[in-house]
A = this chain, B = another copy of it.
Amino acid sequence: MNDEGVVGVAELLDRTTAQTYASWFRALADPTRVQIVEYLARQAQAMSVREIVAAIGLAQSTVSQHLKILTEVRFVLVEPIGTARHYRINDACVDCFPSAADVVMGRPAPNPNGAC
């Protein structure tokens, strides 16, 4: 038995789109980053790294690394204030964050490196 009994020929979702989706989801695929995002969202103003470190309870270098990942997908925004840097949630990116339904419908993924 070796036929090609495929129903719909069904091209695969192109790899680039799949990778873009994956990079979005990877940003929230770590519990620490989930905590950081939820924490930042609950703050009225932008927070310094020192404050975030105090809240999260991990080393400053670790938190800094997570913040870098989150800013790379524009999930959080930075504003330099003197020697400090203030981080805050990017509400636009929260809105355009893809859903599973987007994946399932094969919708084009929002570009994490461009404007949301």
- Tell me the A residues contacting B by CB distance below 8 Å: 6-8, 10, 12-13, 15, 18-19, 21-22, 25-35, 37-39, 41-45, 51, 54-57, 75, 89, 93-95, 97, 99-101, 103-106
How many of these chains are in the complex?
Answer: 2
Q: How far is the CA of A51 from the CA of B6 in the complex (A)?
A: 8
Whole-angstrom distance from the CB of A81 to the nearest CB of chain B? 14
| Secondary structure class of chain A's binding surface, majority of residues | helix
Contacts of A15 in B (CB 8 A): 31, 35
CB-based nearest B residue for A40: B104
Q: A94 is contacted by which of B13, B55, B100 (Cβ under 8 Å)?
A: B100
Contacts of A45 in B (CB 8 A): 7
